Amino acid sequence: MENFSELLQTSGFFFLTPGMLVMWVIAFVLIYLAIAKNYEPLLLLPIGFGILLVNLPLANLMAPGEGLLWRFYHYGLQWEVIPPLIFLGLGALTDFGPVLANPRLIFLGAGAQGGVYLTFFIAYFMGFDLKEAATIGIIGGADGPTTIFLATKMAPQLLGSCAVAAYSYMALVPIIQPPIMRLLTTKEERCIRMKKGRKVSHLEKILFPVVAAILLILLVPPSAPLMAMFMLGNLFREAKVVERLTNAAQNELLNIVTIFLGLPVGATMNAENFLQPKVLFIFFLGLFAFMVSTATGLLLAKLMNLFFKDKINPLLGAAGVSAVPMAARVVHKVGAEADKKNYLLMYAMGPNVAGVIGTVIAAGIFLTLLN
């Protein structure tokens, strides 16, 4: 009997705290949403499991220098390896054709970063320090790897909550965006059909990643890790001579690093770190940032319409948040509600991929100014 109670006292059961059990519930909710509701399962499933693992006492999976998940976290995220590799895959998956066909739509990708900056100031005035405020603001860009990249460098204590917020809101794009889109546009505006873009040559598509890498990295040097890999992946794709590398970047490599991205992100969410009132504010502010970004994108498109003779369908502005391609699909669907023969999907991909670049630049600007 004594031996049995001794055994019990060396087991993890004896050291469970109520906070850990609350974290289990959060982990189960994320795992449930991923499996049953298909909400960003590629990320929320490993994140959910990571949360569960780190809240098993005595396992020490996040113990610095020895824990397995700590190693993933340290060498993958702190060493800035994983988010750039994700961007390599995204670059190989991205077709910049729609941007090049309609270059003025690039501005919409910048306009939809409005929520990032507004939320940065609001979070700062609410008492978060500058670096935390920047990390919370970047959620509004709706770009997971960029959020994780910035959080690791600026506010690692917020990494888990900001990443979960970013991926949750991305999964909720089809629910969060349409009401704002309908509120800020008239039916006539939603019916605007876009004028066909110009034809884009193969040479332009090859030159774009090279020229963009040079210009953007010179302009905002701290964005280099993400930007460099994004453009390299795109060059693989457009060069059409390294199909094996393009495929590896798009598929195997992207899948492998996705596993090692989600797990350690979840593992940063232990009970004492996560169960704080400020985490609620992060979720609230992140949602606010995302909604404002949607709105500023729409409003910028309307503003541009005051100056252009060929009107832009303002719905395209909402695609400036970088949730690719969900935001573009939502634009297409809301547009088709107003006029079923209006095909906005490919036009919306322009601001959508420009939005990814916009969010990386926004992160680079924070790194420049705050580090």
Partner 1 sequence: MAEKILAPLAGKVVAVKINVGDKVEEDDEAMVIEAMKMETEVFVPCNGTVKEVLVKEGASVEEDDVLAVIE
Residues in contact with partner 1 by the rule CB under 8 A: 325, 328-329, 332, 336, 340-341, 343, 345-346, 349
| Tokens describing residue 33 | 């949403």
Query: Least distance in Å: CB of 34 to partner 1?
Result: 18
| Tokens describing residue 189 | 């505006």
Q: Please, which residue, 251 or 368, has the CB nearer to partner 1?
A: 251
| Tokens describing residue 174 | 């089809």
Q: Please, which residue, 139 or 318, has the CB nearer to partner 1?
A: 318
Smallest CA-to-CA distance from 248 within 85, 360, 94, 77 is with 85
Whole-number Å distance between alpha carbons of 237 and 235: 5
Q: Please, which residue, 139 or 170, has the CB nearer to partner 1?
A: 170
Which amino acid, 299? L
Whole-number Å distance between alpha carbons of 195 and 310: 7
Q: Please, which residue, 118 or 171, has the CB nearer to partner 1?
A: 171
Q: Please, which residue, 153 or 190, has the CB nearer to partner 1?
A: 190
Are 73 and 54 in contact, with CB atoms under 8 Å apart?
Answer: no
- Name residue, tokens 């990494």: 159
Q: Work out the number of other CB atoms within 10 angstroms of the CB of residue 312.
A: 24
| Tokens describing residue 240 | 């059409």
Smallest CA-to-CA distance from 50 within 164, 139, 138 is with 164
Peptide bond between residue 64 and the one before it cis (omega within 30 degrees of 0) = no
Query: Least distance in Å: CB of 341 to partner 1?
Result: 6
Q: Please, which residue, 190 or 329, has the CB nearer to partner 1?
A: 329
Query: Least distance in Å: CB of 342 to partner 1?
Result: 9
Spell out the residues 6+ positions from residue 179 whose beta carbon is closer than 8 angstroms to its own: none
Concatenated DSSP letters for 4-58? HHHHHHHSGGGG--HHHHHHHHHHHHHHHHHHHS-SSHHHHHHHHHHHHHHTSTT
Query: Least distance in Å: CB of 343 to partner 1?
Result: 4
Backbone angles phi, psi at 321, to 5 degrees: -70, 150
Burial of residue 325 (CB within 10 Å: 0-12, 13-18, 19+) is: middle
Query: Least distance in Å: CB of 333 to partner 1?
Result: 8
Q: Please, which residue, 23 or 327, has the CB nearer to partner 1?
A: 327
Query: Least distance in Å: CB of 349 to partner 1?
Result: 7
Query: Least distance in Å: CB of 329 to partner 1?
Result: 5
Q: Please, which residue, 114 or 351, has the CB nearer to partner 1?
A: 351
Query: Least distance in Å: CB of 250 to partner 1?
Result: 14
